[in-house]
């Protein structure tokens, strides 16, 4: 049973997340041969204040 975790900054719409889950599932099915019913996709959203690049939080770059 393939498990896929997608980590991304928050702010995407439900429609965008729905499309992401669908396309990631299709890609896993195509590349691994797993059945669609066995593919699990997790979306973990991160707040800009909880994520930093080069020593600076993204929320501080705005």
- Point out the residues that are catalytic: 2
Residue 24: DSSP 8-state: H
| Residues across the chain | 62
In angstroms, rounded to a whole number, what is the distance separating the alpha carbons of residues 46 and 7?
7
Cβ contact 39:29 at 8 Å: yes
């Amino acid at each position: 049973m393939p498990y896929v975790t997608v980590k991304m900054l928050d702010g995407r719409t439900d429609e965008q997340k729905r499309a992401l889950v669908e396309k990631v599932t299709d890609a896993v099915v195509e590349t691994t041969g797993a059945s669609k019913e066995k593919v699990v996709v997790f979306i973990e959203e991160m707040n800009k204040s909880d994520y930093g690049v080069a020593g600076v939080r993204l929320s501080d770059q705005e």
